[in-house]
Amino acid sequence: MTRPFEIGVYHFGELTPDPETGRVVTAQRRLHELIEQAEVADQAGLSVFGVGEHHRRDFAVSSPVVLLAAMAARTSRIHLTPTVSVLSSDDPVRVMEQINMLDDLSDGRAELMVGRGSYTESFPLFGYDLADYDALFEEKLDLLDHLRRENPITWQGTLRPSLHDADITPRPVGDRLVPVWIAVGGTPASAVRAARHGLPMALGVLGGRLDGFRRFVDLYRRTWAELGRPADEALVSVNGPGFVAPTSQAAIDLSYPAFAEGMQQNFHQRGRGWRVPRDQYEAMASPGGALFVGSPAQIVDKILRQHEVYGHVRYICQLGFGNVPKRDALRAIELLGTEVLPAVRRALGQTGDAAAETEARA
């Protein structure tokens, strides 16, 4: 069965100062706002809701699965995923146990997205050496592969204690968690790694051109084919900042102040932010740019044009990076679910039936 195109939203739980007042909301308030966003996304018919993992005082979410479990109790259909789980500085056994529990709690709606992490504060926090950045991810991804396929499991590595006949519980719905996505930030090695492990690839796109990741998508699919895997299983998702409002001007006006503040205050390592002038933001949101900011019709058009290049199956919007006002964020979620998603599916000749979507995922 053809997999219906999916649209979702994700959030990092930034505690960004309000660009007008300078006030910062509490982590408690942000977490409750995110649960409300998940409820609205579920009601609007969106496919997936994700939350990121960070370990800094300017982010509210250090344990995505805890928040996703709260969302599971308030939703009924939408899939729930970390975006991403920083596997390099975590224990794959614990990651799998927790995501399996989420899958059971949500009646089979859990997904897992893993990555190396663009923020590195978790490495010293949990006692890991950044010099092992690549080796940690490769070994832990290998263990995660085995954990998904085997139980009990016997495994041996060099950076983590070995396992012998270990029973990993609980088990997820259907005894095997699907899907597990691997987050790729734009290096050839990452695209090859995703194909080599037989995992769907989630491209994190922060800026540039609408078709700027074409060579990575081509490399991923070419490597996938060289390994003899079925072509229709080489799934690609595009994840990146965006915002939707009734008009293009409103989308820019509402989202730019929050985006600019978020990039300056939250998107940094070692104290350095990224200054984004408004004209640069508008260029990135133009028809050829990678940011999905505009009216519903404009977002539909951009998704379809990007789909012609990437052939991807999913778009997840990092909605209003930097925290747009609550009312506007909820309205954007409604527009994505009630106007953008149905229009994209119609253009692709898909019915958008919820039962068919669930069956195609499995």
DSSP structure string for 174-191: GGS---EEEEE-S-HHHH
Reported as a single tens digit per residue, the pLDDT across 39-71 is: 999 999 999 999 999 999 999 999 999 999 999
Give the separation between CA 197 and CA 191, rounded to whole angstroms.
Answer: 10
Q: Is the separation of the CB atoms in 87 and 141 below 8 Å?
A: yes
328-355 per-position pLDDT tens digit = 999 999 999 999 999 999 999 997 554 4
pLDDT of residue 1: 56
Using the predicted structure, report yes or no on whether residue 136 has a pLDDT greater than 70: yes
Beta bridge partners of 237: 202, 314
d(CA 137, CA 182): 11
**CA-CA distance, 176 to 195, in Å (whole number)?**
20
Contacts 24+ apart (CB under 8 A), 145-151: 145/197, 147/92, 147/93, 147/96, 148/96, 148/176, 148/177, 148/180, 149/176
How many beta carbons lie within 10 A of that of residue 57, not counting itself? 9
The pLDDT assigned to 206 comes to 86
Average of per-residue pLDDT across 270-279: 82
CA atoms within 13 A on the CB side of 328: 21
What is the total residue count of the chain?
362
Domain boundaries, the chain: 6-361
pLDDT at 85 over 90: yes
Residues linked to residue 316 through DSSP beta bridges, in sequence order: 8, 239
* All residues at 6 or more sequence positions from 46 whose CB lies less than 8 Å from its CB, including other chains: 7, 8, 9, 78, 333, 336, 337, 341
Give residues with Cβ within 8 angstroms of 249, minimum separation 6: none
- Decide which of 3.30.70.580, 2.60.120.260, 3.20.20.30, 3.40.50.2020 is the CATH code for 6-361: 3.20.20.30
Give Rg (Cα) of the chain. Answer: 19
Q: Which amino acid is at 172?
A: P
Q: Which helix (H) or strand (E) holds 161?
A: none
**Is a pLDDT exceeding 90 seen at residue 87?**
yes
Q: What is the mean pLDDT of residues 151-169?
A: 96
The predicted model gives 20-32 an average pLDDT of 92
Backbone angles phi, psi at 312, to 5 degrees: -80, 165
Q: Please report the beta strands in 175-244, taking only residues with DSSP state E, as ranges in sequence order.
A: 180-184, 201-204, 236-244
pTM to 2 decimals?
A: 0.95
Q: Give the tens place of pLDDT for each residue, 300-309.
A: 999 999 999 9
* Confidence (pLDDT) at 328: 96
